Structure formats: C-alpha cells, structure tokens
Structure 1
Amino acid sequence: MAIQSASLLVALVIFDIDGVIRDVGGSYRRALADTVEHLTEGAYRPSQSEIDALKAEGVWNNDWEASQELVFRYFEAHEVEMPAIQDTIWRDDAGRGGVAIAYDKLVAFFQARYRGTDPNHFTGYICQEPLLVDSAYFDQLTWAKMGWGFFSGATRKSADYVLKKRLGLEAPVLVAMEDAPGKPDPTGLFAAVSQLKPVDSKIPVLYVGDTVADMYTVVKARQQQGDRPWIAVGILPPHVQETEAQSQAYADGLRQAGAAIVFGNMQELTSTAIAQLI
C-alpha cells in the first residue's frame, strides 16, 4: 500500500470488508441460511430479516457461530424430532436445549457452499459477490493524506481474494479472522492501526462497518484507548435497502450502537466527508 509518510497523515480509516467492500447478501448470508436449513433437514431456513435480528445483538459477527446459534434456537423453540444427519447434530443433555452440533462439520458444510469444494480455487458463492467500491476510492484517500487498512471477520484467504485479486490492491494492511479475536473485541482494530505506524498517537481513527458489532468495536476501542478520537461510521449493506423503512430501521440500529453517521454506500464516504467528521 502506497501512503504518504506517517508523519503527514491527517486520519486513519479502517474498513470492514463484508457488506462494506463487497455485497455478501448472496454469498456469506446465503451460505449461512443453507447451513441452518441443512442442519434442520429443511425445516427452517432463516430469512434476511431474521439474520439481521441476530446480528443486531452485536455478538454474532462470525457467520459460523451465527449459523450454530440459529440452529440451537430453532430446536429450543420447537418440539420436533431430531434430523437424521449423522455425526453433525444429535441429542445431548450437555448441549443447548439437549442439542449438540459437530462444529467442525458445520464449518466444513458452510465453507463448501461459500468457498466451494475445490481446495485450490474458489468455486462457490464467493465468486458471485458484487464489489461495492473500486481501487480508485483508496487512491483518493491516499492523495488526501489518509492512511487506510482493513479489519475483518473474514478469513485471510477470503479477504485477500477480494482485496488483492479483485480490487488489485498491493499489500494492503489487513487484520483477518485468524489474526485477532472476533468483534466487538477491538484488538484487531488496534492491530490494523499499529500496522499503519502513525507517528501521532492522537490522530483520529475511523472504523467503517455495516453491523452493530462493528459499531460496538469502536465504542470498546474508545473505552480502552481514550487518548485518541475513535469514530464509528455505518454503511447500509445492499440487502437492507429494498425499502425506505428497512433502510431507516437498520440505520437507526447502527446509530444506537454508536455510529456517528450512516451512509448508503462507500462512495458517499469521500475524503471530504471524512475531513468533516474529524
């Protein structure tokens, strides 16, 4: 990543990836719904609004864990016979509601849908993700003396695929799933900021995300490192913008979780808009 000397930077902007850089409504979320449907043998497939409601709790940033949680909640809420899926889900008094799940097999099923079954190439839903920004967007941040990087709950391979192969970014600062605890823990955000090597410890940091967990991450960062300005910026993911009512409700949720401002897409968060926020 080509940036000006760290001593000249006026702000740091760290981005989430899913729902911000790429539209995951037909990929991660589709794989999540597929996984829940598979583990309930077709009895339950969560809608986008049901997934949003879970995400709004602010602790289900990891879609594997979110899949598991929705399966648990389904069996807790319904008196039904267990599915016959071998070695994946079974009755267990020690589990949630008497249900236990083979988490590694859940992850394997999810990844087969999202990444595909070819171990050497992506062939799954990830190949169909529309990009929500282009590389020129990051050039204008660089020209405006703003350092930038990424902190995402996506796996490193998935994040590298979109950042390097599809966007063509060279060696971007990236903290991925394997590198830090999941959000809303701000450890990964701190790590991304550290990699940008800002000289001024008071330089403002913006974190740009599309979920309640992203906003909570900034709130926690502010609590732990209150010596610098931390600004939460919300982005509405495409799937909530079908109606004005949906958009407004989702934006309200982000603001209540700590967003200083909410934009309809990344293109609205220009260097000028960032300068006004800081």
Structure 2
Amino acid sequence: MIETSKVDLKLSNKSIFVFDIDGVIRDVSGSYRRALADTVEHFIKNLTNLDYRPTPEEIDDLKAEGIWNNDWEASQEMITRYLHRLGKKIPIAYEEIVNFFQSRYRGLNSDWSDGYIATEPLIATAAYFQELTIAGIGWGFFSGATRASASYVLQRLAIDLPILIAMEDAAGKPDPTGLLLATKQIEQKQGGLAKTIVYVGDTVADMLTVVKARDFDPSYQYVAVGVIPPHVSQDLRDRYASLLKENGADLVLNSVLELTPQLNLLQSSVS
C-alpha cells in the first residue's frame, strides 16, 4: 500500500463504490495506450516523414494535466503539440484520428479478435465484486471508455447488467455528472440512499472528478481512491502516487483488489 492521507470512514452498506475501468479493472498499457502511441506515430510519420513515438512517461505527463482522459483527444493533442514544436500547423480531421485509433484498438474483425482489446489482462476478478455484494456495498462503473469497450471487459468478468456510465452517457472527466449518475442508479438498485461515495480511478482526471463532486453535490461524503496503473514502473510509483495525492486522492493503493469491505480507511495510513 502507498502512503495515504487519513479519511474518517468505515466502509458499510451506506457506502457506494464507483470504479473507473481503464487501468483499474483492466490493464490498458498494451491496448489503449499502445493504440494512442501508434496513432501519434502514424500521423507524425505521414505528415512530416519523421519518426516519433511518445513514451509512456510522455503520455503520463499529458494525462497529468487532468483534461486528457479521452485517448482520441489525447492523441490529437500530442500530434498537434509535436507539429507546433516544428513550427507547423497541419489540420487533421478528428474523425481520421478516431478511425485509425479504433483500427488498432478494436482491430478490423467484427468480433474485435484482432484488436489490442482482445489481449487486455484483467486486474479485478469476479470474486472481488461478489465480495462487495455480500458485504452489502453497492457498486458500479463510471468510465471514459465507450460503452461497447467497457461492456466488453465487464462481460469477461461475468458481470450481468452492470450499472455503467460510459463515454456516451455523460460529459468527460473531471466533470462529476457521470459519477453522480452512477451513484443514483446504484442507490435505486440498493433501495436506499448512500452516505459515502468511494470513487476508484488511476488518473489525475479521476481524482479531480471527486474534488468537483464535493462542490457539485455536498450531500455525500466522498473518498477519492487512486490506484497505480500497471504500466508505471517500480521506480516511478511513488512519484505517480504523489501526483494523485496532490490532485485530491485520499488514499492510494497498488491495486483495486486492496480496496476491500474490511478496509478501515481511517487506519490505513502507511508512512
């Protein structure tokens, strides 16, 4: 467990867990992030005849700005910035970027079997969510991924009829609307109002979503739980944890599986 700040909270059936998906439920370092790097590399080569592929650290630095949760937009921004450094302004249709990205991420087969998505390792397990249900904790998902992509991974976890707010359903993070929509649906399913919303994510945008939610709807107690995504190397994990904490994380864990119904966040601070 990474160093945390203290949170006055004991998990109970008055708590709701809402999860991001990419980097939390599934490892996207070889899929979404690979497709992002492929896309930037492809367009830079076509436009300038130069070889450039963003590193994982460069992608992290962009996402640390807190507004590039959408990987299509992040691809476009990285291309634009590279061209700017060269003193060039070359318009690129956003649709072209999306189409190329999807050709790598989903592949060309209708069942996505040749896409990067088919190789994504799972981080969470079906048993993990069963444990939450047994403990009386309501749970669901708020993800910037498309509904089709998010549903693909949830089906692999054998989660039927999940509560899911996806890209098509709400404004992108850090806008908190999607988090609160998921919360309301979970409350309806549980048949009661929640006291605490625990949002679990792996990016600055995820943490800022919670920060903004506190102002948007102060009727809940909020806990921002950051997890270190798998692509972050061991020597950079403390730096990544600090970045999440600087942007609102109350607790930072190495994996979503560490966030259990038995965890007392008040006593989970580790120096």
Q: TM-score, normalised by structure 1?
A: 0.86
When residues 78 and 127 of structure 1 are mapped into structure 2, their CA distance, relative to the original with a 3 A threshold, is same
When residues 274 and 129 of structure 1 are mapped into structure 2, their CA distance, relative to the original with a 3 A threshold, is farther
Corresponding residue for residue 44 of structure 1: 52
Out of 231, 248, 255, the residue aligned to residue 223 of structure 2 is 231
| 2:14–2:193 Cα contact (<8 Å) kept | no
Identity within the alignment, % = 53
Corresponding residue for residue 33 of structure 2: 29
Please state how far the C-alpha of 1:98 moved relative to its aligned partner: 2.5
Please state how far the C-alpha of 1:123 moved relative to its aligned partner: 2.3
CA distance in 1, matches of 2:142, 2:165: 5
Out of 136, 154, 158, the residue aligned to residue 163 of structure 1 is 154
Corresponding residue for residue 122 of structure 2: 131
Please state how far the C-alpha of 1:145 moved relative to its aligned partner: 1.1
Out of 181, 205, 215, the residue aligned to residue 191 of structure 1 is 181
CA distance in 2, matches of 1:277, 1:44: 46
| 1:201–1:228 Cα contact (<8 Å) kept | no
Corresponding residue for residue 207 of structure 2: 215
Corresponding residue for residue 108 of structure 1: 99
| Equivalent residue runs for 1:142-181 within 5 Å | 142-164=133-155, 166-181=156-171
Q: TM-score, normalised by structure 2?
A: 0.89
CA distance in 2, matches of 1:272, 1:13: 14
Please state how far the C-alpha of 1:203 moved relative to its aligned partner: 1.1
1:76 counterpart = 2:120: no
- Which stretch has the larger CA shift, 264-273 or 113-122? 113-122
Corresponding residue for residue 246 of structure 2: 256
Please state how far the C-alpha of 1:202 moved relative to its aligned partner: 5.3
Please state how far the C-alpha of 1:223 moved relative to its aligned partner: 0.8
CA distance in 1, matches of 2:267, 2:248: 14
Q: Which runs of 5+ in 2 are unaligned?
A: 1-11
Aligned length: 251
One-letter code aligned to 2:16:
L
1:204-236 CA-partner distances (Å, limit 9, x unpaired) = 000000000000000000011112101100000
Three-state SS of the structure 2 residue aligned to 1:220 is helix
| 2:201–2:226 Cα contact (<8 Å) kept | yes
Structure 1 runs, 4 residues or longer, greater than 4 Å off? 198-202, 274-278
Three-state SS of the structure 1 residue aligned to 2:77 is helix
Please state how far the C-alpha of 1:256 moved relative to its aligned partner: 0.4
Corresponding residue for residue 94 of structure 1: none
The one of the two structures with greater contact order (alpha-carbon pairs below 8 A, sep at least 6) is 2
One-letter code aligned to 1:105:
E
CA distance in 2, matches of 1:53, 1:210: 14
When residues 275 and 254 of structure 1 are mapped into structure 2, their CA distance, relative to the original with a 3 A threshold, is closer
CA distance in 2, matches of 1:238, 1:121: 23
Q: Which runs of 5+ in 1 are unaligned?
A: 1-7, 80-96
1:12 counterpart = 2:2: no
CA distance in 2, matches of 1:208, 1:273: 14
CA distance in 2, matches of 1:272, 1:100: 53
1:270 counterpart = 2:260: yes
1:23-49 CA-partner distances (Å, limit 9, x unpaired) = 000000000000000000152110000
CA distance in 1, matches of 2:264, 2:17: 9
